[in-house]
Structure 1
Amino acid sequence: MAQSLKKGRQIDGTTTITINHDKLLIVTLLTLFGGIIADYKCPPNPDIFLPCECLVDPGILPFYRSIYCKGDQPINLTALFQRLSHELKADEKDYLFFMQFNDAVDVLPANVFADITFQNVELDGKKLTKVHRLALNGTQDTLKNLYTHSPLVDGDGDWDVFKAINLAANLYYINLAYTNLTKIPDNALQSHPSLQRIDIALSPSLTSIGSNAFKNLTKVESIRIEGYVKDIGDEAFAVSHVSTDQPL
């Protein structure tokens, strides 16, 4: 089937870059969330999750539990997950979602989740600007989807969301929105083994894409980038099975 890489139209100065495959995807509930649905209930002592909470949402997936943090008071996430690691039984440590909606959390530190695992992590906070490259340790093998709706800034040494993504080898979807990123660095996601969909949206500060940033993503289905992109480095979108006959 025909495949293409193209630069989208500029709308109000915003550049949208899209890579699409003409491929039929049939996604069922079981494959989307992985495995056979089991009866995962919250542990019997809700207080151990404070100031966050364990939820089973009957309106979405009544068989899966999630951890939800909200409000605007400071939370020590590392201490919270260390406590859960020590007090929960082995079969109480896997969750569908971690939803970080607390507006006082400003960083996601290294090894924050201890051995508590998630299939989806959603980071949505007004002050969250940095993600440590080891932040997803402990859940890196189970994580399938990463969503951030936070003002993330450009990477600085070990504080780099793209380095964290690269260590989560089974991730197949990332959505970074409302960021303050100005650039996607060189080699940002090069050769990630599992990524299928990449959305970097509503990031008006984004002006450049580094060399090899999305090179050799052998399973990629779509890449969508919204920003005021002016500079694109060499082989930024060099994917072996995607035709680049329509130049950027």
Structure 2
Amino acid sequence: MKREDRREDPDILPGDIVKAAEIYLRDKPAGAMTEHEAKVLLREYGIGVTEERPCASAEAAVAAAREIGFPVVLKVDSPDILHKTDAGAVRLNLADEAAVRQAYDQVTANAKKHKPSARISGVLVQEMVAGGTEVIIGVSRDPHFGPTIVFGLGGVFVEALHDVTMRILPIERPDAEHMLEEIQGKKLLKGFRGRPPADELALIEAILRVGRLAHDHRERILEMDVNPLVVFDKGRGAKALDALIVLK
């Protein structure tokens, strides 16, 4: 399932998008999808994601890095290692082919050491993204209310500051707009201390589309975590750097 990024109104997405995602999920087992598999679904729903290639060898990783363009990021490709940084299975800012080859060996070795039973397909070679404001969009299942969506500052801030707001799914555009105004860190999105304002329209679209994806496939999707989603300067869009989807 590979298509150009979707840009339709998330409130009236064509049925073929929903059906294609349903078919894609049909044979997926319960549990965590790989990062790349999760991003395939995000892209199908029109959510910006990093350019990346899954690679099963060091030479394939080098070829992918050439196609994407240096510098690149290299991560382990495994559904069993969810916190790749903790496992020592991420390398950033790789500037040449030698660095990619070395990183491939290091990342796969660290992943195997961290969790010997993990299924490891190789690595994910990804464009290196700079700048922007990191946010998180997450979906979980509340025992009383069902699927809920959470938005807040992303990266390390979500753990350190817990600056998030929540809605019960499904949501509409006014809900997403209000969520942006409810977090304490909203100044970072508006432009702060000389920083240009973030692309709030792209962020609102991303919140709506994640919510729509989770609601459309609520019988299969147990939880989602897009962290970080980098929101670039006004007019430049937003892009998911990492994503997790857990299926039931």
TM-score where L is the length of structure 2: 0.25
Higher Rg: 1
Structure with bigger helix share is 2
**Larger RCO, structures 1/2 (Cα 8 Å, 6+ apart):** 2
